Chains A and B, each alone.
Chain A
Amino acid sequence: MIPFILRRLIQIIPVIIGVTLATFLLTWLIPGDPTNVLLGPDASEEARERLRQSLGLDRSMVAQYLIYMSNLLSGNLGQSLSFSRPVADVLVSRMANTALLAFAAIVLASVAGVAAGTWAALRPGSLRDRGLTIVVLFLNSMPSFWLGLVLILIFGLHLRLLPVSGMPPSGAGILSLAAHMILPTITLAAWSLASIARMTRSAVLEVINNDFIRTARSRGLSEWRIVLFHVLPNAIPAVLTVIGMQMGFLFSGAVLTETVFSWPGIGLAMFQAIAIRDIPLIQGGILMLALIFVLINLIVDVLYVYFNPKIKLN
């Protein structure tokens, strides 16, 4: 197990370098004088010159990238225009909020998705199976921000059951926090839930027609026991890959959900940054979320091998 983890760790180094290269190149996409965008239109010529110097804009691309990397490694992601603070500060201070939402959503999506997918697969072709197929189709065809607005409309504005925006102050207690999280979590989880349910369904269908399920039945085991201990352990590895992918998407999908619900995470900060073209913040946000994505996929790979004894041999 340990050598495998080490090997995977080494393998992701080029990917991480590539990710930093890509975010670095975003500056290069800015048309015209990048300092115009990076500092805003009101900055003095003196300040611009200072920035050009520090970014190495007058030097070669390679030199610029090296400067970018050395800044990155020392935790310097530049200065945010919209927050007038270092980008790293803004991101770190909001990371926890985004992570909270993303984890709540992945838990919801995984539990509900696996349950729904399994439930449908146990009676393929039945009414509930076809029903799930349709629900999955709609959830996968629905912009999350629109779902969020509809939920706000129904549960917040119409039924007045749940708070619809922001986060409670830190002293408000766990119940208030939970209440504020319900709608954003559902909104964020919807797409992933559908994908996980679909994957679970086909994985379970594949497992359930295997001879060993018949063996288990022929030995007198109960149906729920067979599903829980024989079907799911064999279906989970395939589902796990999807869950891992979705986890990464959830962090980035937070941009839309946080915007709709004014949830003070990285996504909302990035949305506010878009309006005034606060490129350093966007750049930093993308880098951070992409690195999280890579990291999560690494963890999923390791878990995959852990759950799948057959792969362990190789």
Chain B
Amino acid sequence: MSQFATSPETGRGVFVSNLRNIATNTSLLIGLVLVSMVVFSALLADFISPHDPNFANPIIRYLPPLSEGYILGTDELGRDVLSRLIHGARIALFVAIIPTVISLLIGGILGLIAGYVGSFVDTFVMRYFDIMFAFPGILLALGISAAIGPGLNSMIIAMVVVTIPEFGRIIRGVVLGVREELYVEAARVLGYSHTRIILFHILPNVVAPALIYGTLQTGRNVILAASLSFLGLGIQPPTPDWGQMLSGGRTSLVMAPHVATIPGLAIVFLAVGFNLLGDGIRDLLDPRSRQSAK
């Protein structure tokens, strides 16, 4: 991770050259478009969705896609799939972004402390991370969710717990790299306070990796959240949620395959969006990695 540990460059020049890079950065642009589309449908859900997402009409159950008035068909209760999809964007974004932010904060602080203080604190934190890494993410999240009881809160807690070590390790790596840099050494020799060194010399270096890995993790969170929902540990009905819509459609796979497949497409859409966005940000902020990748 030490590739981020470069001395802070002059802000203006980097900004201008970044503007130029954005225009040629296809991943960033496509990712931005995909994510914004979901963001807009979440914000404007009440205005753009053609029907009430929770209005069940048993007479029109399992309408196929492209039906009159129901472009994406209806589900097992006769609810409009498109409207549920649009409203589901809210939950999808919420459960992808909020755990990332919380876990980035906690993990970041832990990593910062571990990397900056070093010695036994570092050992202690790293041991904790090692133990957490011994659990494949979905498994621990499943356990925590199941123990607390299914629901939005327990799902978010589970996702945060599972992703903290990932961020912690990355930030710690960056801090360790920066700590050895001459200008930090110099600041310490000059007798600057720890707060000052951390705020002005170390934090600026943490921003780029935090942004990159945060975005990529958000993409993974989309899938993790959908998985938990699919297992019945996430959002409870009738709140429209993509993962739960998908698992609801399983039973009617033969009769009405669209009920299960369409929400899956939405999940892929959003996850691809965040992944491209993350890759794009990486290309933008860390050109060296792009060179090695291409």
The yes or no verdict on A and B being binding partners is yes
Q: Is B294 an interface residue (CB 8 A)?
A: yes
* Of the residues B146, B231, B260, B268, contact of A259 by C-beta under 8 Å: B231
Tell me whether chain B's interface is mostly helix, strand or loop, or mixed: helix
Closest to B270 in A: A141
Is B261 interfacial (CB-CB < 8 Å)?
yes
Contacts of B136 in A (CB 8 A): 248-249, 251-253, 289-290, 293
Query: Beta-carbon contacts of B118-131 to A below 8 Å, as 1s and 0s?
Result: 00000000011011
Stretch in contact with the other chain, from B4-12, B137-145, B174-182, B190-198: B137-145
Confirm or deny: B293 has a beta carbon within 8 angstroms of a beta carbon on chain A: yes
The answer to the question of B135 belonging to the interface, with a C-beta cut-off of 8 Å to chain A, is yes
Which residue in chain A gives the minimum CB-CB distance to B289? Answer: A202
Instruction: Give CA–CA (A27, B148) in the complex, Å.
Output: 9
Q: Is the Cβ of A142 less than 8 Å from the Cβ of B231?
A: no
A-B contact count (CB 8 A): 149
Q: In the complex, are the beta carbons of A143 and B230 less than 8 A apart?
A: yes
CA gap between A21 and B233 in the complex, in Å: 23
State whether the Cβ of B188 lies closer than 8 Å to any Cβ in chain A: no
Q: Which residues, 127 to 181 on A, are CB-close (under 8 Å) to B?
A: 137-138, 140-146, 149-150, 152-153, 157
Give every chain B residue within 8 A of A149 (Cβ-Cβ).
246, 250, 253, 260-261, 264
Q: Which residues of A contact B247 (CB under 8 A)?
A: 145
Q: Which of B127, B135, B146 has the most CB of A within 10 A?
A: B146
Q: Tell me whether A153 and B261 are in contact in the complex, defined as CB-CB below 8 angstroms, given that A259-B231, A270-B142 are known contacts.
A: yes
B147 surroundings in chain A (CB, below 8 A): 26-27, 29-30, 279, 282
- Beyond the given A19-B135, A260-B250, A283-B143, please list 19 additional residue pairs across the A-B interface where CB-CB is below 8 A: A26-B147, A29-B144, A30-B147, A31-B149, A138-B272, A143-B246, A143-B267, A145-B227, A149-B264, A150-B264, A153-B257, A202-B292, A251-B136, A255-B138, A274-B142, A274-B150, A274-B233, A282-B146, A290-B134
Give me the 5 closest cross-chain CB pairs, A-B, nearest first. A18-B131, A146-B264, A141-B271, A252-B136, A29-B147
Give A residues with C-beta under 8 Å from B.
14-16, 18-19, 21-23, 26-27, 29-31, 124-125, 137-138, 140-146, 149-150, 152-153, 157, 202, 205-206, 248-249, 251-253, 255-256, 259-260, 270-271, 273-275, 277, 279, 282-283, 286, 289-290, 293-294
